[in-house]
């Protein structure tokens, strides 16, 4: 593995970790701060100023920016499955902190997602040579 | 009501993410992560019409997602919106012209199956 490939691999993994965790905690904090009902357009704006929702939104902004950075050098068809590990972590956050019920079928789905992520993330290069040039 | 929100989220997210990938591909790899350089990159990206389109689509998706979160569990809302995977992987191949090889298809298919099970 040459230096350029190693540099890209390390940068890709650091960025992917930021993308995943900002997404998981952004979603979690937003759900935590969300009221049971939003009836008027004004409420959609005012709810953004609740502390938990604000924190969630800030993390979602970090998620979007880190994801854009990642997409500047990695393929979308690589980024999508690798960052999908976030679905598993979101389900766990819902189970542990929001006491949501997760059935055996959902856990099976989680295992399939992990398998898919391992398959794509472990063996293929982050970037298609010359794609989109 | 739940599925109406999901339909809006899926359509807007798919459009937003493909536009975002097109915009970032056009911009090129970001190598410098110092604050000044990031600021300059953002100033350039703010004039990129694909990035502008993607931000508008993402905003629509975001407010629809807030609507969904008020009525659905977190462990339902997040996986259910992953229906976008199917559309996005296909668009990655045909619109972005990425070489989606056998392993990526296999991995993406497993992820899609998993996401479907999680959301049921």
Contact B45, B51 (CB under 8 A): yes
Give me the pLDDT at residue A29, please.
95
Note which residues in 19-48 of chain B have CB less than 8 A from chain A.
Answer: 20-22, 24-30, 33, 45
Out of A38, A87, A108, whose CB is closest to B66?
A: A38
Domain residue limits, chain A: 3-123
Question: How far B80 CA lies from chain A's nearest CA (Å)?
Answer: 10
Residues of chain B with pLDDT under 70: 86, 119-120
- Select from A66, A83, A34 the least CA-distant residue to B33: A66
Asked if A18 contacts B53 with a C-beta cutoff of 8 angstroms, the reply is no
Contact status, residue A22 vs residue A59, Cβ threshold 8 Å: yes
- pTM of the predicted model, to two decimals? 0.75
**Which residue from B66, B75, B109 is facing A95, i.e. has the nearest CB?**
B75
What was the pLDDT predicted at A54?
95
Contacts of B62 in chain A (CB under 8 A): 60
pLDDT for A125 equals 55
Residue A56 predicted with pLDDT over 90: yes
**What is the band of A14 on the pLDDT scale with cuts at 50, 70, 90?**
very high
- Structural domains in chain B (count): 1
Given a cut of 80, whether residue A129 has pLDDT beyond it is no
pLDDT computed for residue A133 by the predictor:
39
Collect all residues of chain A within an 8 Å Cβ-Cβ radius of residue B63. Answer: 44
Contact with chain A for residue B98, Cβ under 8 A: yes
Residue A15 pLDDT exceeds 60: yes
Taking CA A12 as the corner, what is the angle to CA A11 and CA A16, rounded to the nearest 5 degrees?
A: 120
Show the domain range for B90.
2-119
pLDDT tens-digit profile of A70-96? 988 888 777 877 787 888 898 889 999
Asked if A45 contacts A78 with a C-beta cutoff of 8 angstroms, the reply is no
Write down the pLDDT at residue A96: 92
State residue A132's pLDDT score: 43
Q: Which A residues, 52 through 111, put their C-beta within 8 Å of a C-beta on chain B?
A: 60, 64, 67-69, 71-73, 75-78, 80-81, 84, 86-87, 90-91, 93-95, 98, 100, 102, 105-106, 108-111
Secondary structure (DSSP) of B35-78: HHHHHHHHHHHTT-HHHHHHHHHHHHHHHHHHHHHHHS-HHHHH
**Chain B hits for A94, Cβ within 8 Å:** 73-75
pLDDT band at A49 (very low <50, low <70, confident <90, very high): very high
- Does A131 score more than 50 pLDDT? no
Give me chain A's average pLDDT, please: 83
> Tokens 């969630």 sit at which residue?
A56
Tell whether A36 is within 8 A of chain B (Cβ). Answer: yes
């Amino acid at each position: 593995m040459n230096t350029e490939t190693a540099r890209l691999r390390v940068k890709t993994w650091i960025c992917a970790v930021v993308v995943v965790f900002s997404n998981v905690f952004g979603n979690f904090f937003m759900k935590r701060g969300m009221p049971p009902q939003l009836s008027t357009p004004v409420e959609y704006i005012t709810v953004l100023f609740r502390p938990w929702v604000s924190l969630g939104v800030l993390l979602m902004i970090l998620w979007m920016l880190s994801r854009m950075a990642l997409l500047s050098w990695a393929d979308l068809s690589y980024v999508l499955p690798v960052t999908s590990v976030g679905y598993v972590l979101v389900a766990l956050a819902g189970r542990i902190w929001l006491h949501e019920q997760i059935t055996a079928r959902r856990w099976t789905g989680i295992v399939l997602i992990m398998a898919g992520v391992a398959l794509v993330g472990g063996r293929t290069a982050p970037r298609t040579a010359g794609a989109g040039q | 009501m739940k599925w109406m929100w999901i339909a809006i989220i899926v359509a807007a997210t798919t459009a937003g993410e493909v536009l975002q990938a097109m915009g970032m591909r056009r911009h090129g790899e970001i190598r410098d992560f110092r604050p000044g350089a990031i600021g300059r990159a953002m100033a350039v990206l703010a004039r990129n019409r694909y990035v502008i389109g993607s931000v508008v689509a993402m905003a629509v998706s975001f407010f629809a997602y807030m609507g969904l979160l008020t009525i659905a569990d977190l462990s339902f809302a997040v996986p259910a919106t992953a229906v976008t995977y199917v559309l996005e992987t296909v668009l990655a191949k045909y619109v972005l012209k990425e070489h989606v090889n056998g392993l990526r298809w296999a991995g993406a298919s497993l992820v899609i199956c998993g996401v479907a099970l999680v959301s049921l």
